[in-house]
Amino acid sequence: MKVLEARFVTSAVTVDGIPHDGVPHIALVGRSNVGKSSLINALAHKKSLARTSAAAGKTRLANLYRFDVEGGPGGPGRWSVHLADLPGYGYARGGRESVAELRTIAESYFSFDGIAGVFHLVDARHPGLDSDLDAAEWLTTLNVPTATLATKVDKLSRSERTRNLKALERQLGMPVTPTAAVNGEGLDDLWTLIARLSRGRP
């Protein structure tokens, strides 16, 4: 599998601003500063395709990035996917109320019928946050294939990693894919999942 091109497309705040070009979308959802932009950059093999910031809450629109790819699950051939970096939740208020920030903007985005899947990003260092658990529960109501990605696993010791990943899987009730944008861990597995969702393969 080879990334032929990766580029920023647009920032959309309503469904009218989303490109209707037949290219499937995969949405990235997670707390502010969880690493959505960093993961997009790692997938693109670029340092600054998606803007990153240490200031939580920097992303306030659905920022769309188009990837043109060759090969992968489903066989040879060129295919494309939009990755959508949705607004981070949890920066303005803590606890269970903070997921309302995600709903406010994202409900319009999720009314779009071209969504192939959702990646829910959670910080591997902080399992069990109320806002993450509420977001996970809300995502189950969308009837869209969802995968959970544990980010920043490179910042954990081996014992912390084992303990936290088990806790996340228990809390969220689904497998969790460990990822690290810095060293590329989990990116091959992630690309396999992206290809299967985008190309309609089991």
Pairing between β-strand 78-85 and β-strand 62-70 as defined by DSSP bridges:
antiparallel
pLDDT at position 103: 64
pLDDT at position 148: 96
What is the edge-to-edge ordering of all strands in the sheet holding 146-151?
2-12, 62-70, 78-85, 25-30, 115-123, 146-151, 176-178
Give the pLDDT of the chain (202 residues) as one tens digit per residue. 899 999 999 988 777 888 889 999 999 999 888 999 999 999 999 988 987 655 555 555 688 999 999 998 778 899 999 999 988 776 544 445 555 656 666 677 888 888 999 999 999 999 999 889 988 988 888 889 999 999 999 999 999 999 999 999 999 999 999 999 999 999 999 999 999 999 875 4
From CA 191, how far away is CA 197, in angstroms rounded? 10
Give every CB contact of residue 47 below 8 A, 6+ residues apart in sequence: 41
Give every CB contact of residue 158 below 8 A, 6+ residues apart in sequence: none
**Among the listed residues 140, 51, 135, 59, the one whose alpha carbon sits nearest the alpha carbon of residue 96:** 135
Q: Which ranges of 70-186 does DSSP label H, i.e. alpha helix?
A: 99-109, 130-139, 158-172
From CA 168, how far away is CA 150, in angstroms rounded? 8
- C-alpha distances out from residue 50 to 84, 114, 147, Å: 11, 22, 21
**DSSP structural state of residue 87:** P
From CA 191, how far away is CA 175, in angstroms rounded? 16
pLDDT at position 92: 45
Residue spans of beta strands (DSSP E) within the chain: 2-12, 25-30, 62-70, 78-85, 115-123, 146-151, 176-178
pTM: 0.88
pLDDT at position 88: 79
From CA 19, how far away is CA 111, in angstroms rounded? 13
Domains of the chain: 2-198 (3.40.50.300)
From CA 101, how far away is CA 95, in angstroms rounded? 12
CB 137 within 8 A of CB 130: no
